């Protein structure tokens, strides 16, 4: 589970007048296998929160615990290893490597884990098929639609069977129907290919109101402060 305690993030201000506080004393937790939807106005701190959860950045103060380990206290190499093994990140735009095919892009997530080539290829192909891209394995990103690229990014995040899936506005820039498909795929990702008994925790920034209504936990971030709504029975209902 995630447990954030009094997390503050200050960025050095470009104008050197002071420092901007992107997160101010955020305390929240998400149970293992739970789901949190993050919303709020632009500049509220949503992406900052996701980067801290993903170990892509460190808090200025406070702790970000994942299953009892404070990510903020790990050295860079250990943090990189935790990211590679346990954290699947789906960015707003897919950020695929342009020279690699869809399958090779998905395989990149398995390279740091020491998975051998034949198994990498098989697992990448399997996850891409699950994502509805079974006939797109050999295409490079330029030959895919934005929605297909986003599906590849989800496959890349899922293929390592992470403890945690993080998605920062994964449907940004997609049309309504494509967006709905991508959100459905992310929710489905919590149920396939998980280690037995371990459904990944999902934290997602989205402006989609239907997704927010369904989520067992909703965090609204305004000026770095969090307002958390928890619905009873939420995660239990989602299995
Ligand atoms: N690398 C950075 N350096 C300095 N300030 C930053 C940096 N990243 C974010 N900020 C500032 O931190 C605050 C929160 O930004 P953040 O990107 O987390 O907001 P957001 O809720 O994701 O916004 P959006 O909806 O526009 O994506 C903003 O005031 C932003 O300008
Ligand atoms: Mg953002």
Q: What is the CATH number of the domain that holds 219?
A: 3.40.50.300
- For the chain, the domain total comes to 1
Q: Is the dihedral of CA 102, 104, 110, 112 positive or negative?
A: negative
The string of pLDDT tens digits covering residues 51-88 is 999 999 999 999 999 999 999 999 999 999 999 999 99
Q: Which two tokens stand for residue 183?
A: 């959100």
| CA–CA distance, 193 with 123 (Å, rounded to integer) | 10
> What's residue 198's pLDDT?
73
> Can you tell me the distance from the alpha carbon of 32 to that of 202, in angstroms, rounded to the nearest whole number?
9
pLDDT at 236 > cutoff 70: no
The encoded tokens of residue 6 equal 């009094």
Instruction: Name the residue with the closest Cα to ligand 1, atom 30.
Output: 43
| Ligand 1 atom 6, closest CA | 11
Ligand 1 centroid – CA 45 distance (Å):
6
Backbone phi, psi, residue 141, to 5°:
-50, -35
pLDDT in tens, 109-149: 999 999 999 999 999 999 999 999 999 999 999 999 999 99
25-29, 63-67, 200-204, 233-237: the lowest-pLDDT one: 233-237
- Which residue's CA is the nearest one to ligand 1's atom 25? 42
| Closest ligand to the CA of 45 | 1
* Interval 149-166 mean pLDDT: 96
- Which structural domain range is residue 213 located in? 2-237
Q: What pLDDT shows up at residue 233?
A: 62
pLDDT at 237 (0 to 100) = 45
Distance CA 51, CA 84 (A): 14
Is the separation of the CB atoms in 106 and 98 below 8 Å?
no
The pTM assigned to this predicted structure is 0.93
CB contact set of 67 (below 8 Å; sequence gap of 6+): 1, 32, 163
For residue 79, report the distance from its CA to the centre of ligand 1, in Å. 22
**Residue 42 Cα, ligand 1 centroid: separation in angstroms?**
8
Say what the pLDDT of residue 235 is: 66
**Average pLDDT of the chain to the nearest whole number:** 92
Paired strand residues for 221:
226
Q: Whose CA is nearest to atom 18 of ligand 1?
A: 45
Does the pLDDT value for residue 239 go beyond 50?
no
């Amino acid at each position: 589970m995630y447990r954030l305690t009094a997390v503050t993030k200050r960025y050095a201000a470009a104008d050197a007048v002071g420092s901007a506080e992107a997160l101010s004393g955020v305390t929240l937790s998400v149970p293992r296998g739970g789901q949190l939807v993050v919303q709020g106005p632009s500049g509220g701190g949503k992406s900052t929160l996701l980067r801290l959860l993903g170990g892509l950045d460190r808090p200025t103060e406070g702790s970000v615990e994942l299953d009892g380990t404070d990510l903020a206290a790990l050295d860079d190499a250990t943090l990189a290893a935790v990211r590679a093994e346990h954290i699947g990140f789906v960015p707003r735009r897919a950020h695929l490597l342009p020279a690699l095919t869809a399958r090779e892009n998905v395989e990149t997530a398995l390279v740091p884990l020491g998975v051998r080539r034949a198994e990498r290829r098989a697992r990448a192909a399997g996850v891409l098929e699950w994502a509805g891209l079974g006939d797109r394995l050999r295409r490079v990103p330029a030959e895919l639609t934005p929605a297909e690229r986003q599906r590849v990014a989800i496959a890349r995040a899922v293929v390592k069977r992470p403890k945690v899936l993080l998605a920062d506005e994964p449907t940004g820039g997609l049309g309504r129907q494509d967006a709905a498909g991508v959100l459905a795929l992310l929710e489905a990702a919590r149920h396939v290919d998980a280690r037995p008994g371990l459904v990944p925790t999902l934290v997602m920034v989205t402006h989609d109101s239907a997704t927010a209504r369904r989520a067992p936990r909703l965090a609204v971030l305004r000026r770095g402060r969090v307002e958390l709504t928890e619905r009873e029975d939420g995660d239990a209902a989602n299995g």
